Amino acid sequence: MLWIFHRIFSRKFFIQTLLGIFGALFVVFGIFFVVLYYKFPTTSPFTAIGDYLYTFSHPHKVMTKDAIAFLPYWRIADTKYTHFDRLSEIIYFSLTVDGDGSFVTVTDNETDPGWRWWQSSSIKDLIAKTQISGGKFSLTVGASRNKKIVQFLSSSSAQNMLIANLKQEVISRNLDGINLDFEYDGIPDATLSAAFTAFAKNLSTSLRAEKPLITLSLDVLPSGGRKPGLLEFAKIQPFFDRFILMTYDYYGANSEVAGPVAPMQGFKQKKFLLDVSTTVVDYKKLLPKNKLLLGIPYYGWDWPVEKGATFMSPTLDQTDANGYSAVISYGRMRTDRDLVSSQCFFDDLAQAPWCWYTDRDTKKDHQVWFENDRSIQKKFDFVEKNNLGGIAIWTLGYDKQYENLWNLLSSSFSKK
């Protein structure tokens, strides 16, 4: 009888112990899932766990400079090539601000692509993965049409609406930052500049009250440091943590001559309209250098031109007969069969390569200015030499599957 009682008691005790262990594990995992749910509201706890497992084999490198990358909605498919462990921040580009302070959701009778992708699960999962990997995730909002900018800055209610909308995005998605990209063309009325300064102050105050550690950045044009424009730098400087110099497209799609997308020098020599070095000198007079991030183009341009072998040849009118200018990304440059070494050169002032070829279909000459390992390394070195705050890559995904630029990023800015 004692033996039977002992067996029953032992089995019951074992079962109770087992149930207790499972119950404790259930509670622990339940709490863990709840924490993940609230900390990373844009993705599922199961996806977040997978992202944590990724970080175990890809621990984030300690960077000596900010290394951020813009992610336009049209490059989302290429995020599969991203090395999250080497980026300080990813900035989604972008949502457009309407004149009344709302986000533009419809363009040409269709859902605005920037808005559509912002609602996608791809971006929501990417926010969490970036943060779990050790980086920050931010959102670009802005406007590029003067009429809309004037309408927005002329209305306090429109500004308050945008601030409220941004606060909602920051809270609901646990965003780390907001990037402003207001590109006014020309010299505005002084009251408009004062209105932007007031808006920047209100935005900073409101968002920091909600999230004290939020990062606020502002995109600025290369010529903005020497020509009067919308921005009152001395007054707005305290409201932003970073100023991103858009040091690219010095020569772009509609240029009258083919030229380097981001020449390092050549302005003083009257060779180029402006250059990166001069742009930085201009802005260092206006803003703290540790707040300046140098825009790094991972692309160039391919133009139909009058005579391809002539340095900075005049471009042709863009027609079906002549052909059209086109972006040449770093990835495309690596595989483009038209770029043969015998017709390629490296300009010492621009610190950039260029090539020429004849189009097989149109029979027109083309001139191509682009960025490669050598030219991008020069830009990284320039950031280090000038003690700037870091770099801003335009754009994430332009280098496709190639590892070279990621390795340059590590060797230049990660602690050994």
Q: Is residue 362 part of a domain?
A: no
Domain count for the chain: 1
Q: Is residue 329 part of a domain?
A: no
Please report which confidence band the pLDDT of residue 239 belongs to, taking 50, 70 and 90 as the band edges: very high
State both tokens at 320.
Answer: 């079906």
Length of the chain measured in residues: 416
Residue 90 has pLDDT above 60, yes or no: yes
State both tokens at 292.
Answer: 């300046």
Instruction: Pick the closest to residue 144 from 89, 30, 221 (CA basis).
Output: 221
Q: Is residue 311 part of a domain?
A: no
98-109 mean pLDDT: 96
pLDDT at 12: 65
13-26 mean pLDDT: 61
pLDDT at 329: 98
Q: Are 264 and 349 in contact (CB under 8 A)?
A: yes
Residue 121 has pLDDT above 80, yes or no: yes
Q: What is the DSSP letter of 97?
A: B
Q: Which of 17-31, 213-227, 248-262 has the lowest mean pLDDT?
A: 17-31
* Tally of CA atoms within 13 A in the half-sphere of 149 that contains its CB: 24
Phi-psi region of 123 (alpha: psi -120 to 50; beta: other; left: phi over 0): alpha
Q: Are 264 and 378 in contact (CB under 8 A)?
A: yes
CA 350 to chain centre: 24
Residue 11 has pLDDT above 70, yes or no: no
Please report which confidence band the pLDDT of residue 31 belongs to, taking 50, 70 and 90 as the band edges: low
Please report which confidence band the pLDDT of residue 392 belongs to, taking 50, 70 and 90 as the band edges: very high
* Strand 177-182 to 136-143 pairing: parallel
Q: Which domain holds residue 212?
A: 42-298+372-413
Q: Is residue 260 part of a domain?
A: yes
305-334 mean pLDDT: 98
Q: Is residue 11 part of a domain?
A: no
Cα 138 to Cα 175: distance, rounded to the nearest angstrom = 6
Residue 387 CB burial class (10 angstroms; 0-12, 13-18, ≥19):
exposed
Residues 325-372 have pLDDT tens digits of: 999 999 999 999 999 999 999 999 999 999 999 999 999 999 999 999
Residue 214 has pLDDT above 90, yes or no: yes
Locate tokens 């706890």: which residue? 45
User: SS3 of 58, please?
Assistant: coil
Q: Is residue 46 part of a domain?
A: yes
Q: Is residue 155 part of a domain?
A: yes
CA 349 to chain centre: 27
pLDDT at 109: 93
pLDDT at 32: 47
Largest Cα–Cα separation, the chain: 107
Q: Are 403 and 331 in contact (CB under 8 A)?
A: no
Q: What is the DSSP letter of 74?
A: G
Q: Which residues contact 336 (CB under 8 A, 6 or more apart)?
A: 328, 368
pLDDT at 56: 87
State pTM to two decimals.
0.92
Residue 25 has pLDDT above 80, yes or no: no
pLDDT at 44: 81
Residue 104's CATH number: 3.20.20.80
Residues 126-167 have pLDDT tens digits of: 999 999 999 999 999 999 999 999 999 999 999 999 999 999
Q: Which residue type, as a one-letter code, is found at position 327?
A: V
Question: Strand runs (DSSP E) across 165-253, as ranges?
Answer: 177-182, 215-220, 242-245
pLDDT at 50: 83
pLDDT at 17: 67
Please report which confidence band the pLDDT of residue 53 belongs to, taking 50, 70 and 90 as the band edges: confident
Q: Is residue 345 part of a domain?
A: no
298-325 mean pLDDT: 98
pLDDT at 35: 58
Side-by-side strand order, sheet with 365-369:
326-329, 299-304, 365-369, 352-358, 344-347
Residue 24 has pLDDT above 60, yes or no: no
Query: What sign results for the dihedral spanned by CA atoms 380, 383, 344, 366?
Result: positive
Cα 277 to Cα 381: distance, rounded to the nearest angstrom = 12
pLDDT at 2: 45
Cα 202 to Cα 344: distance, rounded to the nearest angstrom = 51
Q: Rounded mean pLDDT of the chain? A: 92
Q: Which of 57-61, 72-76, 182-186, 389-393 has the lowest mean pLDDT?
A: 57-61
List the beta bridge partners of residue 151. Answer: none
Please report which confidence band the pLDDT of residue 193 belongs to, taking 50, 70 and 90 as the band edges: very high
Question: Strand runs (DSSP E) across 197-350, as ranges?
Answer: 215-220, 242-245, 292-297, 299-304, 326-329, 344-347
